[in-house]
Amino acid sequence: MPDSIYVSDIYKSFGEVQALRGVSLRVPKGKVVGLLGPNGAGKTTLVRILATLMYPDKGEAKVEGIDVVARPDDVRRLIGLTGQYAAVDENLTGRENLIMIGRLYHMSIDAARSKAQELLNRFQLADAADRTLKTYSGGMRRLLDIAASIINSPTVLFLDEPTTGLDPKSRLELWTIIRELVAGGTTLLLTTQYLEEADRLADTIVVIDHGRVVAEGTSEDLKRRTGKTTLDEVFLTLTGHSIEETPTV
């Protein structure tokens, strides 16, 4: 069985800045990989390449065996993406945004409507469903953005710092939703600044720093290898940076 996500020796520069310098990783189908790294490590750049939003300079990347450079349209059909910055239309209501995105994925109007309602309930946005996004709080926008990224039941989901700005209740709800998606066979690549989140959700963790993979394995592997007892200390040892713990939930 091909890997669900396959990345081989990817390079990407922005002028002088070498954002990715030979990153390789593989994620088997139905698994969760947590991509950790300090600010500017290259996490979002890698996610954007995998989601076909930008091309690598060099190297190969495939999603479900499909090359992201050669067949971006085919990749897009299979994936969901929640970016670090919300990508929804301010002037539409929450419900209209979800239905529009469902329609972009070729869902029937009835299917898009009913899936939108299900997600609005699930994310506790039903009361705000018919207000324009302009009136949403930051956390509410975030939730709507995540709902939009899973409306097409993606085979592979990319979540770039999905829980940043969410309150503890919403964060826990999102973790539950993520676990359900994964139980249903979705492969997930998750970037996060919260170690507890990676520890709880990810099967394996990949730590990147300055555009290179500096360690990968399960959270237990990484602790054993570095001789540390918490992922926090592991991260500090590997990258020289400390990282926030998840705010108390």
Query: Which residues make up the interface to ligand ATP (CB under 6 A)?
Result: 14, 17, 19, 37, 39-45, 84
17 binds, among ligand ATP, Mg ion, none (CB under 5 to 8 A by kind): ligand ATP
The tokens of 72 are what?
A: 């971006």
The tokens of 126 are what?
A: 């039903």
Q: Are 190 and 35 in contact (CB under 8 A)?
A: yes
- Tell me the closest approach of the beta carbon of residue 129 to Mg ion, in angstroms: 29
* Of 2-10, 18-26, 80-88, 164-172: span binding Mg ion (CB under 5 A): 80-88
Counting contacts by CB under 5 A, is residue 193 touching Mg ion? no
The tokens of 119 are what?
A: 């997600």
Residue with tokens 């990407």: 12
Residues 6+ apart with CB under 8 A from 138: 165
| Angstrom distance (rounded) from CA 65 to CA 110 | 32
- Tell me the closest approach of the beta carbon of residue 180 to ligand ATP, in angstroms: 26
* Of 40-48, 55-63, 71-79, 104-112: span binding Mg ion (CB under 5 A): 40-48
37 or 162: whose CB is closer to ligand ATP? Answer: 37
Out of 7, 12, 25, 44, name the contact with Mg ion by CB under 5 A: 44
42 binds, among Mg ion, ligand ATP, none (CB under 5 to 8 A by kind): ligand ATP
Show the beta-strand stretches assigned E in the chain. Answer: 5-14, 17-27, 32-36, 58-63, 66-67, 79-82, 156-160, 187-191, 204-209, 212-217
- Tell me the closest approach of the beta carbon of residue 117 to Mg ion, in angstroms: 32
Residues forming the site for Mg ion (CB under 5 A)? 43-44, 84
